[in-house]
Amino acid sequence: MAALRPLDGGGIKTSRASLIGGIAVGIGVFVLWTLLARDLGGDGLLTDTIGLVLSGLIGLWIWRADL
């Protein structure tokens, strides 16, 4: 019995559209984080830094996962 293999070789796709989508999602997550933090009274450099790191990681995941 033959083993099943992906048609594209199983590599992760990193197209330009995925990169743009990852950047857009990262910016959107940071904006939402900032708005929610301000609404909940979490103003400050630490809160903004956490939001920036989190949004960057989510944007990177969107780009690498090609979602």
> Tens digit of pLDDT for each residue in 4-17?
666 666 665 567 88
Chain length of the chain: 67
* Model confidence pTM above 0.85: no
> Tens digit of pLDDT for each residue in 16-41?
888 899 999 999 999 999 999 999 98
Q: Could you tell me the sign of the dihedral formed by the alpha carbons of 28, 31, 35, 37, in that order? A: positive
Q: Enter the tokens of residue 47.
A: 């809160």
Q: Phi and psi of 30, rounded to 5°?
A: -65, -40
Q: How far apart are CA 52 and CA 4, in angstroms?
A: 40
**Residue 55 pLDDT > 70:** yes
Q: Which residue has the tokens 């809160």?
A: 47
Q: In whole angstroms, how large is the CA radius of gyration of the chain?
A: 17
